[in-house]
Chains A and B, each alone.
Chain A
Amino acid sequence: MWHDAMLVAGKDLRLEVRSRVALNQIVPFALLVLVLFAFALDPDRGLLERATPGLYWVAVLFSGLLALQRAFTVEAADGNRDALRLSGLDPAGIFLGKAMAVGVQLLVLEVLLGIGVAVLYTTQFAGWPLLLATVGVATVGIAAAGTLYGVLAAGLRVRETLLPLLLLPVLAPVLIGSTRAFEAALAGAPAEGWPWVGLLAVFAVLYILAGVLGFGPLLEES
């Protein structure tokens, strides 16, 4: 299973390194979102500073959605889905591999957005252990849930419009949890943030389990 996962993740990441779609299109989009937030919320009145954790995670979610769309458009072309099914790879491995590739891209995105927030919104980061733990579990959760719902919407003519409808309500707890944890960390009260990390971890475990168990039937039947 892990061997297969590494193969699939390696394939996806190689694809990204060669095509640079995420780097050339999704990262600029994410930064654009940060600029748009500044236009929408007057930066002189302190609104932007107070809302930074929430804006950061909304930007992560929206640009992560693009990365997920991309991860499954890649599979939609040239009957790749059938090829994956016939490859004899363990479906659970395929799921973990795709989720890992998405997760790695999300992490890069989060780091760049973090730098963007620090520069553009002059955020003073504090409470590093909590920040890093939040980023870690939230990324795993988003990648696992996103991969599962991504494959649910994949191969359908309506996938671009369907995926946000399916995924964003499901990711609502991740947005709430990670935003509150970030707020707690930045406010210097990490004790309030750790329960949220626990919630995010439960979410991540649930979706990894669902993906590992559910990916096989999904690949087979359609």
Chain B
Amino acid sequence: MTTQSNATTSRPGGATAPEAGPTSTGSKATRALGILALAAVALLVLLGLWWTPADVIQNESVRILYVHVPAATLAYLGCFLTSLGSLMYLWKKSRWWELVGYAAAEIAAIFTAVTLVTGMLWGRPTWGVFWVWDARLTSTAMLMLLLLGYLAVRRLPADYHVRAQRASIIGLLLVPNVIIVRQSVQWWRTLHQEASLFADGPGATIEGIMLFTLVFGFVTFQLIFAWLLVHRFRLAWLEEQVAGQGLTAAIAERRAEGRSASGAAPAPIAPPPAVPSELVHRASTTGPEVAS
């Protein structure tokens, strides 16, 4: 039962943070959500590790599925939100949706990593190896790589519009890519060996308290997902504000420099053309953005 202590020690960060006052990404609503999520996690730990019996076939390893399956589902939900947010940005130029998409992509990457790790830890006692070229495992790994590509572009050191525009095209193609990759991997595997061991779904044969625990796992992970999404969205918003501020300050500095240089003796450097074209470009695209 070391997990319980871990659960309770790692959680307070999430719960105490909103109490820290106005300078945080927390608010009353997220505090309530956070407390709810924490309570759900505590209950899920009790249910999953203690109150539920071991499975007849899978034995104790079934307990991993109570966190594995919800994490996988929410990873896909995150991808869907990323595509939706990207679509709304490309279509309506909605900055709000773009940030939702970015936040969802990062959380989806975390949940995908959780899915992969728990999948491997489930596979070791079940199949005897950490990794098999199972259709689901493989397509989840590809999903992770696709998400990392999106995040790499979204985090480029460039002007907001450049990042958002390019990342949104990748984000929009995320769901079609996931579908095509899943389809191809599934055909690839089913042609060469019998259907995967997961074939009829891990949740297909369970009932009673075990089914309840799995459903409760979904609820818990949805609460965690919602809490993370709100906080990550606000953090993304703050990041863009701060980046904008830094840029305005830098532009003001350059202007002051240029003025003092031209006011003094004939300067050896010609200020305006010497500025790299990239900087001029950034300034021209962010100017109105910062002012609004």
Q: Which residue numbers of A lie inside 8 Å of B, CB to CB?
A: 79, 148-149, 152-153, 156, 158, 162, 165-166, 168-170, 172-173, 176-177, 180, 192, 195-196, 199, 202-203, 206, 210, 214, 217-218, 221-222
Contact A199 B166 (CB under 8 A): no
Chain B residues with Cβ below 8 Å from A162 are 152-153
B191 touches A222 (CB 8 A): no
Q: Are B145 and A206 in contact (CB under 8 A)?
A: no
Residues B191 and A165 in contact, CB atoms below 8 Å apart: no
User: In the complex, are the beta carbons of B187 and A218 less than 8 A apart?
Assistant: no
Given contacts A162-B152, A165-B149, contact A222 B165 (CB under 8 A): yes
Q: Is the CB of A169 within 8 A of B146?
A: yes
A192→B184 CA distance, assembly (Å): 14
Contact B162 A222 (CB under 8 A): yes
Given known pairs A165-B149, A172-B181, A177-B184, the reply for A158 and B156 (CB within 8 Å) is yes
Report the Cα distance A176→B138, complex, angstroms: 12
User: What 0/1 pattern do residues 162 to 186 of B give for CB contact below 8 A with A?
Assistant: 1001100110110011001101110
Known: A152-B166, A218-B165. A169 touches B145 (CB 8 A): yes
Contacts of A170 in B (CB 8 A): 146, 149, 173, 177
B172 to chain A: which residues have CB within 8 Å? Answer: 210, 214
The distance from the CB of A113 to the nearest CB of chain B, in whole angstroms, is: 22
Q: B90 an interface residue at 8 Å Cβ cutoff?
A: yes
Q: Are the C-beta atoms of B173 and A210 separated by less than 8 Å? A: yes
What's the tally of chain B residues with a CB closer than 8 Å to chain A? 30
- For A221, give the chain B residue with the smallest CB separation: B165
Q: Find out whether the CB atom of B185 lies under 8 angstroms from the CB atom of A176.
A: yes
Contacts between the two chains (Cβ within 8 Å), count:
80
Report how far A192 CA is from B190 CA in the complex, Å: 12
Determine whether B39 belongs to the interface, using a CB cutoff of 8 Å to chain A: no
Q: Please determine whether B188 and A169 come into contact, CB atoms closer than 8 angstroms.
A: no
Please tell me if B158 contacts chain A, counting CB pairs below 8 Å.
yes
B41 to chain A, nearest CB (A): 32
B243: interface (CB < 8 Å): no
Known: A156-B158, A173-B184, A206-B176. A180 touches B191 (CB 8 A): yes
A169 pairs with B149, CB closer than 8 A: yes
Chain A residue at minimum C-beta to C-beta distance from B183: A199
B255 in contact (CB, < 8 A): no
Q: List 21 A-B contacts (CB under 8 A).
A: A149-B170, A152-B153, A153-B153, A156-B158, A162-B152, A165-B145, A165-B148, A165-B152, A169-B146, A170-B146, A173-B181, A173-B183, A173-B184, A173-B185, A176-B184, A176-B187, A206-B180, A218-B165, A218-B166, A221-B165, A222-B166
B161 CB–A CB distance under 8 Å: yes
> Could you tell me the distance between the alpha carbons of A158 and B176 in the complex, rounded to whole angstroms?
26
Instruction: Tell me which of A148, A156, A169, A221 has the highest count of chain B C-beta atoms within 10 A of its own C-beta.
Output: A169
Given A162-B152, A169-B145, A199-B183, 12 more pairs with CB closer than 8 A: A148-B169, A158-B156, A162-B153, A166-B149, A166-B152, A169-B177, A173-B180, A176-B184, A210-B169, A214-B90, A222-B161, A222-B162
Least distance between A161 CB and chain B CB atoms (Å): 9
Interface centre among B142, B165, B169 (most CB of A within 10 A): B169
Query: B residues within 8 A CB of A206?
Result: 176, 180
Instruction: Find chain A residues with CB under 8 A from B153 CB.
Output: 152-153, 162, 166
Task: Give the chain A neighbours of B176 by CB distance below 8 A.
Answer: 206
A195 lies within 8 A of B187 (CB): yes
In the assembly, what is the distance between CA of A202 and CA of B183, in Å? 12
The answer to whether B161 touches A221, judged by C-beta atoms less than 8 angstroms apart, is yes
A166 touches B181 (CB 8 A): no
Tell me whether A152 and B170 are in contact in the complex, defined as CB-CB below 8 angstroms, given that A169-B145, A199-B184 are known contacts. yes
Q: How far is the CB of B179 from chain A (nearest CB, A)?
A: 10
A177-B188 Cα distance, complex, nearest whole Å: 8
Q: How far is the CA of A12 from the CA of B173 in the complex (A)?
A: 27
- Is the pair B142, A199 in contact by a Cβ cutoff of 8 Å? no
* Shortest beta-carbon contacts, A-B, top 3: A173-B184, A169-B145, A221-B165
A184 to B150, CA, bound (A): 34
Q: Which of A79, A173, A217, A218 has the most chain B CB atoms closer than 10 A to its own CB?
A: A173
- Tell whether, in the assembled complex, residue A217 and residue B180 are in contact, meaning their CB atoms are under 8 Å apart: no
Q: A217 to chain B: which residues have CB within 8 Å?
A: 90, 165, 169
**Which residue of chain B has its CB nearest to the CB of A158?**
B156
